[in-house]
Amino acid sequence: MKDTRDRIVTAAYACFMEKGYEQTSVRMILEKAGVTTGSFYHFFPSKEELFEAVVDVFLTDYVSTFASICQDHELPVTRRCELLFGELAKRMREYYGQLGGDHLHWSIAYSLHEKTMASLLPSVEALLTDAIHTGDVKSRMEIDTRTLSMLLLRGIEAILHSRNNFNMVEAERTEYYFSKCKEYMKLLLEIGSSEF
């Protein structure tokens, strides 16, 4: 049973990445997975619920990558932040460009978006806690690290989702992300390193 469910999710992931959410039909997924309609609906009442399962797979890899960057104590805090910006931007491009996130019903998009933010928060909080403890970073506000982490993550997320950068070529967009994210971080944090 689990094997059938996994085959459906794997097939859907491939179809969504190749064609996007809107252009992928349940029939395409069934053909790719080699399962019947009954098997599909046994596990997933709708294409939307299957999409959520696909995003869970997407998030598992995302969270793992994010956590490994945050926990890499060999790198300075500023370098870890830059790597995180890059990872956030890359995943956002995959979400919008390949999974078709901009065509989802707002309720599904909102739910998945909140799930993403909740899954990334522990890594950001661990990074900030470590950076504050070592003295690499000081908060410009007198708030707890969890709240500071939420502010940081939500602000960076807003920058990455801003519509005014979607017409830029890739290199310009990446530079835009980095510069705006750094500006935002400097509003919230006093960063000890001059390289940032």
| Domains recognised in the chain with CATH numbers | 1-45 (1.10.10.60), 46-191 (1.10.357.10)
Task: Identify the H or E element spanning 4.
Answer: helix 2-19
Amino acid 60: pLDDT: 85
Mean pLDDT of 54-81: 85
27-47 confidence digits (pLDDT tens): 999 999 999 999 899 999 999
Amino acid 192: pLDDT: 67
Of 45, 35, 47, 37, the C-alpha closest to 6 is 35
Of 194, 38, 63, the C-alpha closest to 123 is 63
Task: Output the DSSP codes for 148-163.
Answer: HHHHHHHHHHHHHT-G
- Residue 196 to residue 193: CA distance in whole angstroms: 6
CA dist 180 → 77, 122, 153, 155, 190 (Å): 17, 23, 13, 10, 16
Mean pLDDT of 182-190: 84
Amino acid 194: pLDDT: 45
Amino acid 148: pLDDT: 92
Q: How confident is the model at residue 97 (pLDDT cuts 50, 70, 90)?
A: low
CA dihedral 3, 9, 14, 19 (to 10 degrees): 150
Per DSSP, the chain holds a count of helices (H) and strands (E) of: 8, 2
Question: Would you give the distance in Å from CA 121 to the centre of its chain?
Answer: 11
Contact 180, 159 (CB under 8 A): yes
| Token pair of 58 as six digits | 């997407």
Is the per-residue pLDDT at 166 higher than 80? no
75-86 confidence digits (pLDDT tens): 888 788 778 877
| Token pair of 30 as six digits | 């069934």
Mean pLDDT of 163-178: 65
More confident site: 171 or 188: 188
Q: How confident is the model at residue 168 (pLDDT cuts 50, 70, 90)?
A: low
Amino acid 170: pLDDT: 62
Mean pLDDT of 103-128: 77
Is the per-residue pLDDT at 183 higher than 90? no
- Output the average pLDDT for the chain: 81
